Every structure is written in C-alpha cells, then in structure tokens.
C-alpha cells in the first residue's frame, strides 16, 4: 500500500537519521492505532518525494485471523478521507494523509 502525506520529505529527516527513525516509528504507530492492528503488521518500505509517498507493507496476522492487507488498506483509506475517524483525529490527519491505489 502507498500512503501520500501532505508534507515535505525533508520533514521526515535524512535516511538513517534518528529523525527518520522516529518519523517511521510514529507513522507505524499511527497506522496501527487507526487500523486497530498490531504495529508489527506494518513495515515502511520506502519514503519518496511527491509530498511524501510512503510505501508500506501490511503483513497478515500470525494466527491467520483478522483483516487482509487489502481490507486494512481500504479501511485506512476510508479513515483518511473522513473528518471524524480515528485516523483523522491522529497524526494521519495532521499530516494530511490520503490513500493512493495499492501498488504491486
């Protein structure tokens, strides 16, 4: 899944920096909170310019239950579009998140 954040990539810090590490950790925490899933279900693949494009892997639950990666992606997209949802109330709204179509 790809998430677009309405911010400059420089705000995320340089690759390998403590600032970047904290940014990625906070973003994973926000995604977990917004989706109701454990943080270990998310992994930041990459950050790229264009506002900030974040490639995120969503892993299945270890027990095989719970929503699929596609369901998680769709749920987060709905939340990012809403004004009164968990994601909107958290940092995803502050960062003006918008869900893009899932990439391969």
Per-residue pLDDT tens digits for 47-61: 998 777 888 888 877
Range from 17-21, 44-48, 63-67 carrying the lowest mean pLDDT: 63-67
pLDDT value, residue 85: 53
Q: How far is CA 21 from CA 32, 39, 82, in A?
A: 17, 15, 28
Taking the model in full, what pTM does it have?
0.66
Nearest alpha carbon to residue 73 among 12, 4, 3: 3
Q: Kindly report, residue by residue over 69-91, the tens digit of the pLDDT.
A: 788 888 887 777 665 555 545 55
Residue 84 CA, chain-centre distance (Å), reads 18
Q: Is 27 exposed, middle or buried (0-12, 13-18, 19+ CB in 10 A)?
A: buried
């Amino acid at each position: 899944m790809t998430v677009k954040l309405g911010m400059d990539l420089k705000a995320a810090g340089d690759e390998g920096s403590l600032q970047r590490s904290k940014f990625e950790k906070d973003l994973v925490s926000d995604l977990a909170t917004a989706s109701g899933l454990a943080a270990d279900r998310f992994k930041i693949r990459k950050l790229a310019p264009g506002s900030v494009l974040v490639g995120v892997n969503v892993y299945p639950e270890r027990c095989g239950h719970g929503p699929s990666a596609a369901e998680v992606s769709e749920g987060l997209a709905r939340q990012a579009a809403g004004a009164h949802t968990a994601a909107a109330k958290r940092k995803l709204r502050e960062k003006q998140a918008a869900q893009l179509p899932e990439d391969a």
